[in-house]
């Protein structure tokens, strides 16, 4: 079994800076967080950006500046979110790819998302997947519910393997409206993942309180880990998360305990088919 690929998702699109002052929202805060998380053992940074009012944005200039700054200051694999916020239109989400990331997220279906709906029509999914193929951007297929793995099977059968030839999925578990963040649900997904192309890898993240059960289940099942303040704002009962580094450090400790230490950024690129 390989080491553990650790992704940090430091910001997300859902939490406000006013409610969560430790959330990195400026470019300087994001770069500083990314550097520290890399030093601790993260290999991928999953990026959502904010505007001057700390609101989520898909502004093209900011996205390009963010990719450039992260590439300049770290060796992390820069994965832009094409999911954005639930209010973002499809055109703006597709245009995220124009900012030239090495990786981008690609969600495999529509899901209720708290009070909102995270819309991902089939035609939109095909468009994202084929544009990433054409541009050499490696996708991370985001899975919010079991059936979305079946959608991924159909996508790969009809439209071919992604750039780099390797399939990597991320199980986003415990979203209100999606699959639960439990070991049972992870095992059910793992069974379907085995029917995807040979060598397919997966990471998992549990939203909120499901963070730890999902980490334990994923690392035990040979999966990888995504952590960060996009997904988890409570470290333990009654104790707020202080920083993304705190969450990465806990994931690194768990990976080491499981004798699957964190992959370096070079090892992660090799695994995922992301060019150096």
- The residues of the shown chain that bind Zn ion, judged by CB under 5 A, are 81
- Kindly write out the interface string for residues 67-86 of this chain, putting x where it contacts ligand KMH by CB under 6 A and - elsewhere: --------------xxx-xx
Among 5, 40, 44, 113, binds ligand KMH (CB under 6 A): 113
* Closer to ligand KMH by Cβ: residue 4 or 107: 107
Enumerate the β-bridge partners of residue 239. 236
244 binds ligand KMH (CB under 6 A): no
* Beta carbon nearer to Zn ion, 168 or 260: 168
Report if residue 145 touches ligand KMH, rule: CB under 6 A.
no
**Please, what is the minimum distance in Å from the beta carbon of residue 207 to ligand KMH?**
10
With 0-12 / 13-18 / 19 or more C-beta atoms within 10 angstroms meaning exposed / middle / buried, residue 255 is: buried
Residue 118 binding ligand KMH, by CB under 6 A: yes
Long-range contacts of 149-156 (CB under 8 A, 24+ apart): 149/108, 149/189, 149/192, 149/193, 149/196, 150/192, 151/108, 151/109, 151/122, 151/125, 152/108, 152/196, 153/192, 153/195, 153/196, 155/108, 155/125, 155/126, 155/129, 156/196, 156/197
Cα four-point dihedral sign 174, 177, 180, 185? negative
Interface with ligand KMH, residue 45, by CB under 6 A:
no
Backbone angles phi, psi at 57, to 5 degrees: -145, 155
Ramachandran class of 100: left when φ > 0, alpha when ψ lies in -120 to 50, beta otherwise: left
Rg of the Cα atoms in the chain? 17
Minimum distance of ligand KMH from residue 11's CB (angstroms) = 10
105 near ligand KMH, rule: CB under 6 A = yes
Q: How far apart are CA 137 and CA 120, in angstroms?
A: 19
Token look-up 């998302």 returns 113
Contact 71/93 with Cβ under 8 angstroms?
Answer: no
Residue nearest to Zn ion (CB): 81
- Choosing from 4, 33, 107, 151, the residue that interacts with ligand KMH (CB under 6 A) is 107
Does residue 58 bind ligand KMH (CB under 6 A)?
no
- Asked if residue 141 binds ligand KMH (CB under 6 A), the reply is no
Q: Which residue has the tokens 């070991």?
A: 183
- The yes or no reply on residue 202 touching ligand KMH (CB under 6 A) is no
Nearer to ligand KMH, 83 or 162 (CB): 83
CB of 253 to ligand KMH, least distance (A): 25
Q: Which is nearer to Zn ion, 93 or 260 (CB)?
A: 93
DSSP 261: P
Residue 13 near ligand KMH by CB under 6 A: yes
Binding region for ligand KMH (CB under 6 A): 13, 81-83, 85-86, 105, 107, 113, 118, 142
């Amino acid at each position: 079994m390989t080491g553990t690929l650790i992704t940090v998702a430091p910001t997300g699109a859902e939490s406000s800076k006013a409610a969560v002052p430790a959330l990195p929202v400026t470019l300087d805060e994001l770069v500083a967080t990314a550097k520290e998380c890399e030093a601790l053992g993260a290999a991928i940074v999953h990026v959502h950006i904010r505007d001057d009012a700390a609101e989520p944005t898909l502004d093209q200039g900011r996205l390009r500046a963010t990719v450039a700054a992260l590439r300049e200051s770290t060796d992390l694999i820069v994965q832009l979110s094409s999911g954005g916020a639930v209010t973002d239109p499809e055109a703006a989400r597709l245009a995220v790819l124009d900012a030239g990331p090495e990786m981008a997220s690609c969600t495999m279906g529509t899901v209720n998302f708290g009070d909102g709906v995270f819309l991902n029509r089939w035609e939109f999914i095909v468009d994202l997947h084929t544009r990433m193929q054409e541009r050499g951007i490696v996708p991370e297929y985001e899975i919010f519910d079991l059936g979305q793995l079946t959608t991924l099977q159909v996508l790969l059968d009809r439209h071919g393997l992604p750039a780099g030839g390797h399939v990597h999925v991320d199980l986003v578990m415990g979203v209100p409206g999606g699959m639960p963040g439990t070991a049972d649900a992870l095992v059910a997904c793992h069974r379907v993942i085995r029917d995807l192309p040979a060598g397919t890898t997966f990471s998992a993240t549990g939203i909120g309180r499901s963070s730890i059960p999902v980490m334990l289940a994923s690392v035990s099942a040979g999966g990888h880990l995504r952590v960060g303040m996009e997904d988890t704002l409570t470290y333990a009962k009654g104790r707020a998360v202080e920083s993304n580094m705190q969450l990465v450090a806990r994931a690194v400790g768990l990976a080491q305990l499981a004798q699957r230490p964190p992959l370096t950024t070079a090892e992660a690129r090799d695994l995922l088919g992301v060019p150096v």
